[in-house]
Amino acid sequence: MRPFLAAVAGLVLLAGCAKEQAAVEVVRPVRTVTVAAEHPGMQLEFSGEVRPRYESRLGFRVGGKLAKRLVDVGASVKKGQVLAQLDPQDLRLAEAAARSNVASATSQYELARADLARFRDLRARNFISQAELDRRQAAHDSALAQLEAVRAQASIQDNQAVYTVLRADSDGVITAVEAEAGQVVTAGQTVVRLAQTAEKEIAIAVPEDKVEAARRAQRIAVSLWATPGSETPGRIREVAPAAGPARRPYAVGGGVADPPQEMRWGMTATVRFAEQAAAPLIRLPLSSLLRQGEQTVVWVYDPKSSTVNTTPVSVAGPNGNDLMVSNGLAPGQVVVTAGAHLLQPGQRVKLLPGDTRPAVAAPEVGGRNGS
């Protein structure tokens, strides 16, 4: 009987110890950050396509039959290089006819000038009337006007003979061919398209709530998907005055004045630029925010009681690897950044040494208007 009572007493003692251990409060170590207000430049990021900054549609200034096309798509050309030629036969005939008209009009003018000189002499001797002299003067003036007209027409024909050769107006690359040898083309019809290589642009589509930020942006950073480790500086060159028909975006062109050699037309690129925040925001790492139902919350540390409790916050948007909070926090509050998923409301915590520090503010990018 005595051994049994001793065993029962031992169990009672063990149960009492367990209750004492259960009553011991768990103090969890956490990492924290002391928040500060800032006016950050929110980084906006859009994907786009590399396009030529200048692309010309080249065509002949006169119509005719295309005799030769001397370049293909992708060919690099120099300024003044011959790209295509028209059959010059018809223009040569027209040029010969114009020269014949000049010779005929010259003869008529010389005859009218000689007659006028003779009739002036006769009028000086009073052998003819003034009316007869006036008729000779009018014939002379008419012959002179006719000569000037046919000379101008002959000059036009001479120029048109030169226009049968299509030359590159700048250094560049042929991006398209729209006519082939044997085809009859009209004046101004596109034969080839020439893109200059000195400057490129990135075509992006910006939603209407970010279009003003694009207008104010002074600088952009362009990175290619093919070479993600490097960035090229650029600028916003133009913003469409009206939204596009599909999904209502605004077409925006970002110019790159000195593109790298690996930047080729048609490549996919990422454009980044800063949007200045209108009100002060608070920067927090991603690990500090949690979802509770429909709310985003953070654990806020109370230095008086050394406890933590959740506080709902409003997220303005991402900024690099952090999130910017617009409401719910005040500068100087301490927010848990690591270990938040293990906490309970009102739980006592221990701040790890050296972890409490102000959040690093991002450098401001320009002013409110990008200035």
The CATH architecture assigned to 89-162 reads: Orthogonal Bundle (1.10)
- Two structure tokens written together for 310: 């959740």
Residue labelled with tokens 């008529």: 108
In the chain, residues under CATH classification 1.10.287 are 89-162
Q: What is the CATH number of domain 44-53+199-276?
A: 2.40.30.170
Specify the pLDDT at position 13: 47
Residue range(s) occupied by CATH 2.40.420.20 in the chain: 25-39+279-371
Positions in the chain whose pLDDT score sits under 50: 1, 3-9, 11-22, 357-371
The pLDDT assigned to 5 comes to 44
Q: What is the CATH number of domain 25-39+279-371?
A: 2.40.420.20
pLDDT of residue 151: 87
The rounded distance, in Å, linking the Cα atoms of 81 and 68 is 14
Q: What is the pLDDT of residue 25?
A: 67
CATH 2.40.50.100 domain range(s) in the chain: 56-86+164-195
DSSP label at residue 360: P
User: How far apart, in whole angstroms, are the C-alpha atoms of residue 250 and residue 314?
Assistant: 28
CATH of domain 56-86+164-195: 2.40.50.100
Q: Residue 79 has what pLDDT?
A: 92
Range list for CATH 2.40.30.170 in the chain: 44-53+199-276
The pLDDT score that the predictor gives to residue 83 is 94
Strands 307-319 and 295-302: antiparallel
**The pTM is what?**
0.53
